[in-house]
Amino acid sequence: VSDHSYEDLLKKAENFVRDHMAGYDPSHDWPHVDRVRRVAIRIAKTLEPQPDMLVVELAALFHDLDDKYRTESSPTLSDLLSPFLSHPCLTSNQAELILKIIPNISYTSEIKSRSKNQWTWQDECKELFAVQDSDRLDAIGSIGIMRCSAFSCKINRKLLHDNEDDGHGAEDHFEEKLLKIRDRMKTPFGREEAERRHQTMVSFLESLQKEKELLQ
Ligand code: ADP
Ligand code: NI
């Protein structure tokens, strides 16, 4: 593989992310990133005009590097990514777009950019939509249920709440966030898949209620 090729860049990016995330818990590990990358590419292929696939794939690969695990002394995202973003097969526009997309994927950052009440690049960036919808899909449905349990374990949150302890179990995260995701999707593909995954969570929660009734 020539070191000026896309394959070379993607392989190096993938190896870097895999190593960097090796110690992360299963709610945010390499398999999460790999799923987000694959589904982002599928979503991007359904969009017209077709987004820049290399930007989509790299933004997806790098999207959780700068997450909850950073400390004061962590390098900035652009320092961390500079060896990849200066690769000969990436233009400076592509590199800049990747750096712009990553901090704008989360819903919290979306709310912040909305509060200005103006039309911004975030409202029309197809590369952003593909990664955003893909990351959101990974938080819902069957995989979402498993990730919610994994994250809860990491933060010492119990699975279920009991009556004296309302609002403090992993099960409460569905109301807090996961059941709201369906209405926040950006692409037709994302909306359709989110609808299916939403129903999976609804059936799961109904079944959970039945199981809890036996404990009364
Ligand atoms: P993402 O990588 O999809 O942006 P987040 O960082 O928001 O995800 O969360 C990672 C995973 O942990 C998600 O699947 C989410 O449902 C779960 N999670 C986040 N916060 C909580 C919480 N307070 N309780 C239980 N699960 C949570
Ligand atoms: Ni993610």
Each residue's pLDDT tens digit, 78-89 = 999 999 999 999
> Does residue 211 belong to any structural domain of this protein?
yes
Least confident stretch, 53-62, 68-77, 138-147: 68-77
From the CA of 62, the nearest ligand is 2
d(CA 82, ligand 1 centre) in Å: 28
> Does residue 122 belong to any structural domain of this protein?
no
Residue 119 has what pLDDT?
86
CA nearest to 41, candidates 27, 28, 60: 60
What's 113-166 look like in SS3? HHCCCCCCHHHCCHHHHHHHHHHHHCCCHHHHHHHHHHHHHHCCCECCCCHHHC
> Does residue 118 belong to any structural domain of this protein?
no
Residue 92 has what pLDDT?
96
Residue 167 has what pLDDT?
64
Residue 179 has what pLDDT?
98
CATH code for position 64: 1.10.472.50
Give the pocket of ligand 1 (CB within 6 Å): 27-28, 64, 106, 135, 138-139, 144, 147-148, 151-152, 157, 170, 173, 178
| Domain-terminating residue out of 106, 127, 153 | 106
| Domain-terminating residue out of 106, 131, 150 | 106
> Does residue 129 belong to any structural domain of this protein?
no
Q: Which domain holds residue 176?
A: 139-216
> Does residue 112 belong to any structural domain of this protein?
no
Interface ipTM:
0.94
Give the confidence band of 57 by pLDDT, cuts at 50, 70, 90.
very high
Task: Please state, in angstroms and rounded to a whole number, the distance separating the CA atoms of residues 160 and 66.
Answer: 30
> Does residue 132 belong to any structural domain of this protein?
no
From the CA of 61, the nearest ligand is 2
Residue 165 has what pLDDT?
61
CATH code for position 166: 1.20.58.1910
Q: 115: number of CA atoms within 13 Å, CB side?
A: 6
> Does residue 115 belong to any structural domain of this protein?
no
Residue 164 has pLDDT above 80, yes or no: no
Output the average pLDDT for the chain: 93
For 92-99, what is the mean pLDDT? 97
For 124-148, what is the mean pLDDT? 98
The count of domains in the chain is 2
Specify the ligand 1 atom closest to the Cα of 178: 16
Say what the pTM is: 0.94
| Domain-terminating residue out of 85, 106, 127 | 106
Q: Which residues surround ligand 2, an ion (CB under 5 A)?
A: 64, 135
Q: What percent of the chain has pLDDT over 70?
A: 95
- Say if residue 153 is in the same domain as residue 202: yes
Cis geometry, peptide bond prior to residue 49 (ω within 30 degrees of 0): yes
> Does residue 131 belong to any structural domain of this protein?
no
